[in-house]
Structure 1
Amino acid sequence: MSSHKLKTDETNNVKEDISAVSETGSHRKLPLSRRILSVVWDSLDKLPKERKFINKVDCWIMSYVCMAYFVKYLDQTNVNNAYISGMKEDLNMSGQDYNYLQTMFTVGYCLGNLPSQLIMTKIRPSIWLPSVELIWGCLVMAMAAAKNVKTLYALRFLIGILEASAYPGIITLLGNWYTPQELGKRSAIFVCSAMISQMFSGYLQAGLYAGMDGKHGFSAWQWLFIFDGIIGFPICIYGYFAVPDSPNNTKAKWLKLEEKEMAIDRMNKVGRKPPRGLKWRTFYEVFTMWPVYVFSVSFTAHVLGIRIYNYFNIYLKASGYSVEDANLIPTAAFGFQAIMTLLYAWWSDATQQRILVIYFGVLLSLAGCIILSVYPEHNKAAMMAGWFLTYAETGVSGLIMTMCNELLSFSTEHRLIVIGVVETTAFVFNAWVILLTYPSGEAPKFSIGYEMAAMFFAIEMCAMGVAWYCMKRWKPSQE
């Protein structure tokens, strides 16, 4: 609690507004009409002061995190679209070059992930997150000037180190400000911005290929990276003002003192503790608790499973579709992905049954992988259905990380480390597994890729079953 705690009637009113919801954040004691409103949108059932506060926090935090993640995923998707839009031919890429490009990014991502989380215990997220985004934006633009694939390898490695800050850093930031009834939606909406980005990248590349190819001496794929950097710069600047750190140490100019007090009280109500400082004992405690292991397995399986849809446009081009179609058709799949992600968000926040919702998403993508494993190549409708279903599970990533935030509410430092370790573990495996499962030279039919994706989704289901058992038997806590 802040040392400057208000002792006015205004503050007492704030506390009463928060206390309208029970200690655990449950809405079971509220009238039916307010429970229905809370499902539609979680601030509608709140009293005016808290509703105004939530809307204000949404306006600043969610606008930044969605735009920042949009730019991050625009970069990642642009590499896929650039590859099939002339980059492969211009840089004489062949064999496993595309996969090596992905691997160099992933190696950098793994190396940057946990250090970025630890740095945020010393440097404010409001400074760190926008700064690294500014640097990686410059490096993305530099990719347009690459003359060979080795230069791309080096740039992708550095960009991976810097982009590693985005996902775990933003997930941790959201956990600092939102209650369990709010966090699932915000995490899913944040993840959804990546899907919209992937849709936009396809349209952007198709448009550039048709109208900008060869303009001012640049190919369409080079213009793609230039546009990516240009879009990112104003968002970085906005981030310095928008990111509020945590309720207990925020210096955000857009928050009034009584609103800071409300933020602290809201987090206290759900057991979300303020930063205490990173100690060596924190690492010991993290690695003697089950969440770091169970969620590392489930999230790793998730990341390896969804990697399959990165090869949809390569499949399309290898199957004879035009460059424009290979860029545009996957945008419909990303639209489906976004709809499913929002469904998961509202469903899980309304019922608080996160694992059940995760199971539903995994089963859909598992079905898609089974269809692709059978490979009914003469039945285009079945093949398209299989590919589209592989996109269905992606949105549950936000729910997995939401569970990490909620289970480790007792310590900001534990949450930072566990989220960092879970992300790092997933991408360490991702760095080399894709080389074995999706040799790009095998497109459109990957000999083991479809079956391996199905296996990863099955492992994810098993791991979430273990998480359910552990949650029933052992609740993590700080002694």
Structure 2
Amino acid sequence: MALHGDSKVIDIKGFEENPGIIVGATTRSEEDLSNPIQAKPTRKWQSYIWDTLDKSPEERRLMFKLDAAVLTFATLGYFIKYLDQININNAFVSGMKEDLGLYKNQLNYMQTCWTVGYVIGEVPSNMILTRVRPSIWIPAMELTWTVLTFCLCKCNSAGSIYALRFLIGLAESTFYPGMQYIIGSWYRRDELAKRSCIFHTASAIGSMFSGYLMAAVYHLGGKGGYRGWQWLFIVDGIISLPIAISGFFLLPDVPEITRAWYFTPEERLFAQKRMQLEGRAQRAPYTKAKFKRIFTSWHIYTLATLYMTFNNAGSGVTQPTFAQYLKDSVNPKYTVGQINTYPTTTYAVQIVSTLAYAWTSDSVFRGARWPPIVFGGVVSIIAYASLAFWDIPTGWHWACYIIAGCGGGLSGLCMAWAHEVCSDDNEERAIVVGTMNELAYVFQAWLPLVVWQQIDAPRYHKGFVTSACLAAGMIIISLVIRVLWKRELAKKAKMGAVA
């Protein structure tokens, strides 16, 4: 089969036979249903390094353009999102607490205000993305939260910070579920995990960079009449502005409506055909029957529960537990720079483990998502259970804070799994991805107020116990999804054979 353009012919015969394709109503399972029609061809060894090395020159050219645009904007955008989300923690331990007299649970309330805004906006935003061009909606929201980040430097009370954090969360709610929806609209199954996980590593990089940035700008204290922690918000805004603007030019929307300047007409048709062969449904109207089908399926409930347990199990990393442990230390006494930079080792582990999960899931485990999820959950249980015990050697104490990063790199796998499970319905995919993130942050809105109270720092016994239990729950629900998904795939394969 070929796509004919004005200047060339793009041959797509090769990728019609590649792994991960959905043929008619049947779908390849993560452990390969025994269907000779769908038997996987021998892969070239280069594809285990990067999947495009096993594709035709035409498809490789398309993928290069797509990766360059989508992954560049996604990672940079998520970098600034996390930079602007996590900066409140770095500012808090770098003088804001003392300057504004925040000696109770104000930090918890600041985090909760952001979370409430984030929760309110997620699902509506993803529904909007199925009707409005993502290349307009997402960059516009990025510009909004960039301006609000600038405004944080002028806050002189906890109340004003609460209000701005709520609005920042509302604007940022568009980005992660929105970009995951876009990634799931362009990439095939054997490509999804790597792209989703590369995208997710930007959160750890942003968290690391925020610590380094705070250590650097702290010395600007007094310049222009601003404290060091106020300069953090100013510099964050300066970094965010050009990245937000670039989105208007880089985002390709979704294949069926793309007008991206860097694709030829033939490549646009080629991208659409890829998704048709993958079984990835195009946009369709919302109907009562569609909503009923979505909310009576096991998909939305199990996948949302999986993501909720993952996200909240990792709150021991997102909370400034390591930084507050260092700040509370008397012998030795750590400097502000050390308090901000030493905890970044946790995010370094998260980056490495995230990429390892992606490559092993796509290659070693042949598309299975659950093995890395189980591994990350086991490491989290060990780390958080040890910290809950607390009276452990100092070296192991440090090690537990650091290896806890292994549990933070599973987001991309959870989202890739959701795209695969919900391939048959574009609107279900958008709603499920949004709901996954929303349920996670619904719990994040109130759970820290109960188990991560600032007054318990640095020995967050309730928090560490909760994280260990949630990691165990994540392992259980991932195995449940595996069983249900295998049954559904077998049913589809049987129906396809009968047809």
TM-score bin, normalised by smaller chain: over 0.9
Within the alignment, does 1:439 sit opposite 2:453 as a pair?
A: yes
User: Does the 8 Å contact 2:20/2:190 carry over to 1?
Assistant: no
How far, CA to CA, are the matches of 1:447 and 1:363 in structure 2? Answer: 19
How far, CA to CA, are the matches of 2:111 and 2:19 in structure 1? Answer: 47
Structure 1's 388 and 23: CA in aligned 2 closer, same or farther, altered over 3 A?
Answer: closer
User: Does the 8 Å contact 1:14/1:262 carry over to 2?
Assistant: no
Which of 315, 319, 328 does residue 325 from structure 2 map onto?
Answer: 315
**Matching residue's letter, 1:86:** G
Within the alignment, does 1:103 sit opposite 2:120 as a pair?
A: no
What pairs with 1:411-450 in structure 2 (closer than 5 Å)? 411-450=425-464
Which of 9, 21, 24 does residue 21 from structure 2 map onto?
Answer: 24
How far, CA to CA, are the matches of 2:10 and 2:255 in structure 1? Answer: 19
How far, CA to CA, are the matches of 2:328 and 2:279 in structure 1? Answer: 53
Within the alignment, does 1:452 sit opposite 2:466 as a pair?
A: yes
Secondary structure at 1:361 match in 2: helix
Secondary structure at 1:204 match in 2: helix
What pairs with 1:34-433 in structure 2 (closer than 5 Å)? 34=44, 36-209=45-218, 211-309=219-317, 310=319, 311-320=321-330, 321-350=334-363, 351-377=366-392, 379-433=393-447
**Matching residue's letter, 1:169:** G
Matched residue pairs, number? 470
Q: Aligned residues: percent identity? A: 37
**Matching residue's letter, 2:245:** I
How far, CA to CA, are the matches of 2:3 and 2:385 in structure 1? Answer: 59
How far, CA to CA, are the matches of 1:382 and 1:298 in structure 2? Answer: 29
How far, CA to CA, are the matches of 2:376 and 2:265 in structure 1? Answer: 41
Quote how far apart the aligned CAs of 1:277 are. Answer: 2.4
**Matching residue's letter, 1:153:** Y
- Superposed CA deviations along residues 257-305 of structure 1, whole A, max 9, x for unmatched, are 1101110111111111111122233221111110111111111111111
Secondary structure at 1:248 match in 2: helix
**Residue in structure 2 matched with residue 13 of structure 1 by the alignment:** 10
Quote how far apart the aligned CAs of 1:250 are. Answer: 0.6
* Structure 2 unaligned regions, length at least 5: 23-27, 29-37
Quote how far apart the aligned CAs of 1:29 are. Answer: 4.2
Quote how far apart the aligned CAs of 1:392 are. Answer: 0.8
How far, CA to CA, are the matches of 2:359 and 2:39 in structure 1? Answer: 17
Structure 1's 189 and 28: CA in aligned 2 closer, same or farther, altered over 3 A?
Answer: farther
Quote how far apart the aligned CAs of 1:30 are. Answer: 3.7
User: Does the 8 Å contact 2:4/2:266 carry over to 1?
Assistant: no
**Matching residue's letter, 1:347:** T
TM, length-normalised to structure 2: 0.91
Larger deviation: 243-252 or 465-474?
A: 465-474
Quote how far apart the aligned CAs of 1:28 are. Answer: 6.3
How far, CA to CA, are the matches of 1:56 and 1:165 in structure 2? Answer: 24
**Matching residue's letter, 2:204:** M
**Matching residue's letter, 1:352:** G
How far, CA to CA, are the matches of 2:446 and 2:429 in structure 1? Answer: 27
**Matching residue's letter, 1:438:** W
How far, CA to CA, are the matches of 1:447 and 1:193 in structure 2? Answer: 29
**Residue in structure 1 matched with residue 31 of structure 2 by the alignment:** none
**Matching residue's letter, 2:60:** R
- Superposed CA deviations along residues 296-318 of structure 1, whole A, max 9, x for unmatched, are 11111111110111222122212
- Superposed CA deviations along residues 304-345 of structure 1, whole A, max 9, x for unmatched, are 110111222122212343221110101111111100000001
How far, CA to CA, are the matches of 1:156 and 1:118 in structure 2? Answer: 23
How far, CA to CA, are the matches of 2:290 and 2:241 in structure 1? Answer: 36
- Superposed CA deviations along residues 61-110 of structure 1, whole A, max 9, x for unmatched, are 11001100000000122111000001111111121111111111101111
How far, CA to CA, are the matches of 1:137 and 1:312 in structure 2? Answer: 28
Quote how far apart the aligned CAs of 1:7 are. Answer: 4.2
**Residue in structure 1 matched with residue 25 of structure 2 by the alignment:** none
Quote how far apart the aligned CAs of 1:146 are. Answer: 0.2
Quote how far apart the aligned CAs of 1:147 are. Answer: 0.8
Which of 460, 483, 493 does residue 469 from structure 1 map onto?
Answer: 483
Structure 1's 221 and 8: CA in aligned 2 closer, same or farther, altered over 3 A?
Answer: closer
User: Does the 8 Å contact 2:5/2:265 carry over to 1?
Assistant: no
- Superposed CA deviations along residues 399-436 of structure 1, whole A, max 9, x for unmatched, are 01111111111121110111111111111111111111
How far, CA to CA, are the matches of 1:6 and 1:69 in structure 2? Answer: 35
Quote how far apart the aligned CAs of 1:394 are. Answer: 1.0
User: Does the 8 Å contact 2:346/2:404 carry over to 1?
Assistant: no
User: Does the 8 Å contact 1:182/1:349 carry over to 2?
Assistant: yes
Quote how far apart the aligned CAs of 1:196 are. Answer: 0.9
User: Does the 8 Å contact 1:17/1:49 carry over to 2?
Assistant: no
Structure 1's 231 and 274: CA in aligned 2 closer, same or farther, altered over 3 A?
Answer: same
**Matching residue's letter, 1:94:** Y
Larger deviation: 57-66 or 16-25?
A: 16-25
Structure 1's 11 and 362: CA in aligned 2 closer, same or farther, altered over 3 A?
Answer: farther
Larger deviation: 288-297 or 12-21?
A: 12-21
Quote how far apart the aligned CAs of 1:253 are. Answer: 1.2
**Matching residue's letter, 2:150:** M
Larger deviation: 214-223 or 183-192?
A: 214-223
User: Does the 8 Å contact 2:20/2:188 carry over to 1?
Assistant: no
Quote how far apart the aligned CAs of 1:473 are. Answer: 1.9
How far, CA to CA, are the matches of 1:415 and 1:306 in structure 2? Answer: 24
Quote how far apart the aligned CAs of 1:469 are. Answer: 1.4
Quote how far apart the aligned CAs of 1:117 are. Answer: 0.8
Secondary structure at 1:392 match in 2: helix
